[in-house]
Amino acid sequence: MDLVFTAASGNHAQGRHLDHTKTLIEETSVLCIRFHDLRYTAAILLIRRGVPTKMMADRLGHANAISTLKAHTYV
C-alpha cells in the first residue's frame, strides 16, 4: 500500500501508536509537525498542481468537494 508508517501487521498505523517517534525527532534535526499539518500540506500541493477538487476530496477523505473548498479557500 506504499505506506510510510505501518503497524506490525502492515496496515495503517494509528497516530497514537507513533508516540515513540517524539524521542526520535528530538534526537535528530527532523522538523516536528503534526499529522494534520502533513494533510494540510498535501492539500496545498494538490491545489497548486491543479488536481480536480473532487479528486482532492476523495484523497483527503472529505465527505464532499465543498468541505475541501471550505477548508482550503485561503490558500
Q: Is 71 exposed, middle or buried (0-12, 13-18, 19+ CB in 10 A)?
A: middle
Q: Convert the pLDDT of each residue in 19-42 to its tens digit.
A: 666 666 677 777 777 877 888 888
Give the cell for residue 47: 491545489
- The DSSP-derived string for 2-71 is --SSB-TTSSBPPGGGGTTHHHHHHHS------HHHHHHHHHHHHHHTT--HHHHHHHHT-SSHHHHHHH
Q: What percentage of the chain has pLDDT greater than the value 90? A: 4
pTM over 0.75: no
Q: What is the residue-averaged pLDDT of the chain? A: 76
Query: Average of pLDDT values for 7-17?
Result: 74
Beta bridge partners of 6: 12
